[in-house]
């Protein structure tokens, strides 16, 4: 789990709560009609904006946002170098035995395409199409979060207008002004809070995770095509290390490459 997402949300609400308690009572900031207007309106607008097929998959979007990627790029590069050494020593067909040890479906699929003798250009096209589909799925998930982030403040403004109308219609009754003003102000507060603490940051987090996963997939394609071309594992290692920050390049693949060279 990406613990920073949870920590950020909890910390944000905690700081807002502390600020409230410093000058008022928490119960003064709890208003059911305001919550219904903001969250209910957001959900309604979300349902209007997206088809049912996207709505029912939203749980996966949230899971993707708070879940760490299964593999780091340095782990993938190390694995590809191991596969390159196997192919260099025993041939491409020997990679079939290593498929069962590969946990990533994308890498496993690429290895099987190589073992089956698929043309390199076709291997590249198939795997790049997989990446395009992955990017499209992530983009639709990000769009849902962004729409939610935009709808919350919008319905906060709707709630503000509802509260102001109710207040202006009852100016002769001083006892009604307070509750109406509370709805007017708290809906704006809720809308801004949910949008800027939850939905918009989560859309950004999902975008970062998507870019990271696409990068990892691109590294896999580069490595697989290099293995299929029969390139030296040491050369493959150096080609793939350019995708890594300089600070971690020395720790990746060195032992495996040295074993092959020795």
Residue 176 has what pLDDT? Answer: 67
Q: Is residue 143 part of a domain?
A: yes
Please count the structural domains in the chain.
Answer: 2
For the chain, first and last CA: distance in Å?
40
DSSP string, 94-150: GHHHHGGG---HHHHHHHHHHHTT--HHHHHHHHHHHHHHHHHHHHHHHHHHHHHHH
User: Crossing angle, helix 73-90 and helix 105-115, to 10 degrees?
Assistant: 20
Q: Which helix (H) or strand (E) holds 55?
A: helix 52-55
8 with 69, same domain: the answer is no
Query: With 0-12 CB in 10 A as exposed, 13-18 as middle and 19+ as buried, what is 62?
Result: middle
18 with 123, same domain: the answer is no
Q: Which long-range contacts (CB under 8 A, 24 or more apart) does 161-166 make?
A: 162/37, 162/187, 163/187
199 with 178, same domain: the answer is yes
20 with 51, same domain: the answer is no
Q: Is residue 135 part of a domain?
A: yes
45 within 8 A of 147, measured Cβ to Cβ = yes
Q: Is residue 10 part of a domain?
A: yes
Tens of pLDDT, residue by residue, the chain (262 residues):
678 888 999 999 999 999 988 888 888 888 888 899 999 999 999 999 999 999 999 998 888 888 877 667 888 888 899 999 998 888 888 888 888 888 888 999 999 999 988 999 999 999 999 999 999 999 999 999 999 999 999 999 998 888 888 777 777 777 767 777 777 888 999 999 999 999 999 999 999 989 988 989 999 999 999 999 988 888 988 888 888 777 666 666 554 444 444 4
From 154, 25, 161, 4, select the one nearest 68 (Cα to Cα).
4
Q: Is residue 40 part of a domain?
A: yes
Cα 183 to Cα 166: distance, rounded to the nearest angstrom = 9
Cα 189 to Cα 155: distance, rounded to the nearest angstrom = 11
Report phi then psi at 170, rounded to 5: -125, 35
Q: Is residue 215 part of a domain?
A: yes
24 with 66, same domain: the answer is no
Q: Is residue 92 part of a domain?
A: no
Is 0.75 topped by the overall pTM? yes
20 with 137, same domain: the answer is no
Q: Is residue 95 part of a domain?
A: no
41 with 17, same domain: the answer is no
163 with 36, same domain: the answer is yes
Query: With 0-12 CB in 10 A as exposed, 13-18 as middle and 19+ as buried, what is 117?
Result: exposed
132 with 143, same domain: the answer is yes
137 with 156, same domain: the answer is yes
Query: With 0-12 CB in 10 A as exposed, 13-18 as middle and 19+ as buried, what is 180?
Result: buried
102 within 8 A of 111, measured Cβ to Cβ = yes
pLDDT in tens, 5-59: 889 999 999 999 999 888 888 888 888 888 999 999 999 999 999 999 999 999 9
45 with 175, same domain: the answer is yes
| Domain residue limits at 170 | 31-74+119-261
47 with 167, same domain: the answer is yes
Q: Is residue 152 part of a domain?
A: yes
């Amino acid at each position: 789990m990406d613990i920073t997402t949870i920590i950020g949300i909890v910390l944000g609400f905690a700081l807002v709560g502390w600020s409230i308690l410093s000058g008022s009572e928490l119960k003064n900031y709890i208003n059911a009609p305001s919550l219904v207007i903001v969250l209910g309106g957001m959900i309604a607008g979300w349902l209007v904006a997206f088809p049912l097929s996207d709505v029912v998959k939203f749980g996966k979007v949230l899971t993707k946002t708070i879940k760490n990627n299964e593999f780091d790029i340095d782990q993938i590069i190390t694995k590809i170098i191991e596969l390159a050494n196997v192919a260099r020593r025993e041939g491409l067909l020997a990679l079939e035995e290593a498929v069962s040890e590969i946990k990533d479906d994308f890498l496993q699929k690429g290895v099987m395409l190589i073992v089956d003798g698929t043309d390199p250009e076709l291997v590249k096209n198939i795997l790049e199409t997989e990446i395009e589909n992955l990017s499209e799925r992530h983009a639709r998930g990000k769009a849902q979060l962004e729409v939610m982030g935009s709808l919350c403040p919008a319905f906060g403004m709707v709630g503000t207008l509802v509260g102001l109308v109710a207040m202006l219609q009852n100016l002769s009754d001083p006892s009604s002004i307070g509750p109406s003003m509370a709805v007017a102000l708290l809906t704006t507060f809720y809308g801004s809070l949910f949008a800027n603490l939850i939905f918009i940051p989560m859309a950004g987090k999902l975008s970062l995770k998507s870019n990271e996963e696409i990068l990892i997939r691109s590294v896999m394609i580069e490595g697989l095509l290099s293995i299929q071309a029969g390139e030296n594992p040491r050369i493959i290692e150096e080609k793939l290390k350019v995708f890594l920050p300089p600070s971690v390049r020395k720790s990746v693949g060195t032992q495996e490459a040295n074993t092959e060279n020795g």
